[in-house]
């Protein structure tokens, strides 16, 4: 699994070039103030520009391609109430940036409230990413042939776009689903593992621990299942 990057809240200047696939412990949002770049990750792929808002959930991974130009952004903690928003546009990004100078949490709530939802990309790598994100079993070779593509082309092309293989992308998506299910309820872990298609509870435990550094049982309870890790559960 990719290593964790610390999230620095407030304004940040992102250098030109590529930032390899990585993940963050806590959910956060990024509002682009100037410049353009492409983000490809567990939420899909998006061409981001001034005023665009990108929502990152806990333990999701992504890469960023800035090209030859840098971008100025403001990073904010992900507030409760973000719902299913992934990509959005904020009409007055400067107002959010000014608010962040005083209080990043309040600026985050302002940004989420002001964001109008946007769609992500829609070519074949993005369609495959959405299919993989539900973690249901299917043969990637069969998917490729149904879309008129060679399996080798799909594997190579997907990795070029998302920085990981389709198989690993799906495995990490399933691990996140297992983690969320373990956090948000009291159902037996063996039942969750069976529902998500793991070989057994031990298989799910290894996957969740590889993703989060803790087994699913350790995430149960009010101390560990904090709101910023589970924004959708609010």
pLDDT category of residue 225 using cuts at 50, 70 and 90? low
Residue 1 belongs to a domain: no
pTM comes to 0.88
Measure Cα distances from 133 to 16, 44, 66, 71, 109 in Å.
Answer: 29, 9, 25, 28, 27
* pLDDT tens per residue across span 98-154: 999 999 999 999 999 999 999 877 899 999 999 999 878 899 999 999 999 999 999
Give the DSSP letter of residue 84.
Answer: T
Number of domains in the chain: 2
Q: Do 71 and 136 belong together in one domain?
A: no
Q: Do 177 and 134 belong together in one domain?
A: yes
Residue with tokens 């589970």: 230
Residue 26 structural domain = 10-117
DSSP, collapsed to helix, strand or coil, labels residue 37 as strand
Residue 5 belongs to a domain: no
Q: Do 138 and 168 belong together in one domain?
A: yes
Q: Do 97 and 140 belong together in one domain?
A: no
Q: Do 54 and 23 belong together in one domain?
A: yes
Both tokens assigned to 1: 């699994």
* pLDDT tens per residue across span 2-19: 667 888 899 999 988 899
Q: Among 8, 86, 71, which residue's Cα sits nearest to residue 40? A: 86
Q: Do 151 and 204 belong together in one domain?
A: yes
């Amino acid at each position: 699994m990719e290593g964790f990057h610390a999230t620095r809240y407030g304004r940040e200047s992102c250098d030109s070039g590529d930032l390899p696939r990585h993940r963050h412990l806590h959910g956060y949002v990024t509002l682009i103030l100037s410049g353009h770049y492409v983000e490809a990750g567990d939420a899909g792929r998006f061409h981001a520009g001034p005023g665009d808002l990108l929502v990152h959930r806990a333990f999701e991974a992504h890469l960023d391609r800035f090209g030859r130009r840098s971008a100025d952004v403001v990073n904010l903690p992900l507030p409760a109430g973000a719902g299913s928003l992934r990509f959005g546009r904020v009409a007055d990004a400067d107002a959010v940036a000014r608010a962040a100078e005083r209080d990043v949490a309040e600026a985050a709530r302002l940004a989420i409230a002001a964001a109008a939802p946007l769609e992500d990309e829609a070519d074949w790598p993005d369609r495959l990413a959405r299919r993989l994100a539900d973690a249901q079993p299917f043969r990637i070779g069969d998917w490729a042939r149904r879309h008129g593509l060679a399996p080798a082309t799909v594997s190579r092309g997907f990795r070029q776009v998302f920085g990981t293989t389709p198989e690993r992308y799906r495995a990490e998506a399933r691990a996140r689903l297992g983690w969320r299910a373990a956090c948000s309820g009291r159902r037996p872990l063996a039942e969750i593992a069976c529902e998500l298609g793991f070989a057994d509870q031990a298989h799910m435990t290894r996957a969740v621990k590889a993703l989060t550094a803790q087994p699913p049982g350790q995430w149960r309870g009010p101390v560990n299942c904090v709101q910023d890790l589970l924004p959708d559960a609010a």
